[in-house]
Amino acid sequence: LISSPSMFPRFLAVAALLCAVHAADVPTQVHIAQGDVSPTSMVVSWVSTLPALGFVKFGTSSGSYSNSASEQEAPLQYNFTSAYQPGVYHSGFNHHVKIQGLQPATRYYYVCGSANGQSQEFSFMNNPHVGPEVAISFAVTADLGQTSDSKNTMQHMLSDPSMTMTLLLGDLSYADAADNPASKGGVPCTQTRWDSWGVMMEPLAATNPIMYCPGNHEMELGPPPGTQIPFLAYQTRFRMPFKESGATNGNLYFSFNVASVHVIMLNSFMDFSSDSPQYKWLSNDLQQIDRSITPWVVAGMHAPWYNSNSHHQDEPEEANMRTAMESLLHQYSVDVVFAGHVHAYERTHPVFNNITCKPTDGCPTYINIGDGGNREGHALGWIGQPSWSAFQGDQFGHGRLDIINSTHALWGWHTILNPESQVSDSVYLVHSSGKKGVTAVPVDPLSNVRQLIKETSAHW
């Protein structure tokens, strides 16, 4: 009740302020991902405080949005409880809107939101069409977290716009919301870290499509009475092209084509036995690849199959998954397999069944890139260097994969020791003419390779 006429103007001012705050439901944690098996669509995702259906307005000129797409299902919200901490975490509303009919190698400008408020303008360069000689550059990282080192890694990737897609191989936010903080040295273990991570990542994630696979830190499965749904936050917050690639378990595994590459993302922390849905899906996916269209095949997972670091040695997710699936990847001559989990860097020679292969044997090269910068620190210590191990490193950083054409790619490991990332390991990956498999060739000089990539990109 208003006790006197003199209070009425103050009441109106407060009411107007509350209405303005309510209406200005500005999207946060904006991020994008390729929305189909080819780069003709993009999924724009964000978090809001209100459940209104969202939209994306987009076009090829800044400030001019000639196209729009509306949210086709209600935004997703979830609750999370921990056995070790009181209270219930209530997420914001997670929106996923697919914008379609995108032209290759074209810059798009967009805003997202709802009737209650919209974002600032973002832009992205859509990736090139799918074809055997089409070039593309990926950023590759894992075990990122949200430390100062994590931010440096993210900024290094953001500073190079020629990398038009990022592969992030699990262990994203280190929210660890199901864990006992006391067992982790008292560090925060809470779902709110998903929100702070989303805010940290927005400058990169809103402008560069990031394709994720889950790691152990995405499971967030603790004892009752805590939440008993594994991967709950990961499944709710992101939208990968799983349906479009024939998968049936949400974002847990999927595949897509981009440029001259077929990319497969797998899950180390669910059933991968020969009678599992994941294994059957993988077998079918590999059979469907047309190497005359996508001559490069790249796989990603979180837990590495080949690892000579003293950390995470022969864990079940590594040894058992390799036993179940390695023959499949070898049979179909997968070129490169990326992983994380171990907070260090390692590149192998082509290898199968613990034996170093000849370049024409069709064996994958394994690259562990779990050095994104997370709060658990470096994985220091090696158990020697097996014959299949080509390079070991224990600095934080990220990788860059340049697909130049159907026969040549360039891989580089970039550490974040300096304000500008430093290339500490770099090799060509070369397809043998008419034969299966790749071989690694030392790079010298690097500048000539960059020029070749630039010239090849001109034909997109």
Active site residues: 312
Per-residue three-class SS string for the chain: CCCCHHHHHHHHHHHHHHHHHHHCCCCEEEEEEECCCCCCCEEEEEEECCCCCCEEEEECECCECCEEEECCCCCECCEECCCCCCCCEECCEEEEEEECCCCCCCEEEEEEEECCEECCCEEEECCCCCCCCCCEEEEEECCCCCCHHHHHHHHHHHCCCCCCEEEECCCCCCCCCCCCHHHHCCCCCCCHHHHHHHHHHHHHHCCCCEEECCCHHHCCCCCCCCCCCCCHHHHHHCCCCCCCCCCCCHHHCEEEEECCEEEEECCCCCCCCCCCHHHHHHHHHHHHCCCCCCCEEEEECCCCCCCCECCCCCCHHHHHHHHHHHHHHHHCCCCEEEECCCCCEEEECCEECCEECCCCCCCCEEEEECCCCCCCCCCCCECCCCCCEEEEECCCEEEEEEECCCCEEEEEEEECCCCCCEEEEEEEEEECCCCCCEEEEECCCHHHHHHHHHHHHCCC
